[in-house]
Structure 1
Amino acid sequence: MARRARARGARGGPAGRAARLGPAARHRVAGLGRAAPPDPVGRAHPARHHPVRRSAADEDVADLLRVLWPILINTLYALRDVDPVAKETLRSFGFGTPSVLWRVSLPSAAPFIVTGVRIAASVALVVVISTELFAGGWDGIGIYLSDTQSGGGRTDLLLAGAFWAGLLGLLANGLLLAIERIAFRWNTARVEGVS
């Protein structure tokens, strides 16, 4: 009886629900990914679709959701693909769901979560620049690009701003990729050994 209550408590808590998605929940999450794909270029910007002007806070929330989407999707798919044998082995030694999540699921999913962060960084750069172009602001690359085209248009300055935006994106991606390779050296060795 006590064993049953302990097992029910380990599986029934928030960590247990987060750690194991059943087939129905996975189907709903996959449907969510198909129904609401990320829109990093700002085509779905609230100010462009609604006749009533939204506040800056609404625009910031929409931009934040666009940036967090790749991290969420990578995390969900990575946690779904954790080796079930490793999880069941730890459970057979008496570890609860939080321990399985901490010792097996998160370390196994971590490289994919960091890849989601790297993708989100490039999406964030595109979202911030496009938001500045469409919604305005005080300073930033998007404002600079917009200002170069007002009053006659200086194409050379526009191209210089686009070059610096691209260089910033490459540097951010390279830095995050280097951190990923150092932090998860075991994963890159395994991936390079396969190909």
Structure 2
Amino acid sequence: MTPFRAGLIAALATLILDQASKLWLYLGTDLVMSQPWRLAPFADFVVVWNRGVSYGLFQQEGGLGRWLLVGLSLAAALGLSAWMRRAGSRLLAVSLGLIVGGALGNAIDRAAYGAVFDFVHLHAGTWSWYVFNVADAAIVAGVVGLILDSLRPAGRTRADAASAGEGRPQA
């Protein structure tokens, strides 16, 4: 399987899992009326509508901000897809695919509802993590994959090595 195909599968799987989980929880259950749902001593399902970006930053109440964030998500997905097309390793392509799928999943929410539907809340004692969804988790996993790929010497191409000065003859 080519790296691009693996990345495309990761993007589609992320998008499908993200949208299916959101639609099921929002339309197929009574979570909105009966939240929180305790899953474990450290995890709940809750309903949070995020009108901003990561960690609730840059909250947008108006239509202009909403559509700017949709456009930004689509532009990022398009740019990352072009990078994914040229990826030389599966790890890089899958990592990019996870980010693309997550960006598209959250863009769909923003376009359809005006906000992103977040529902997973992790906590322990007095510590509480931000509420997130499948798309957010995929984006984080994709960024971790990008970091790991950048640390792998085998993942570097000859062009990367030459630009780093490794291909120059010694004087």
Which structure features the higher share of helix residues? 1
More strand per residue: 2
Question: Larger C-alpha radius of gyration, 1 or 2?
Answer: 1
- Normalization by structure 2: what TM-score? 0.31
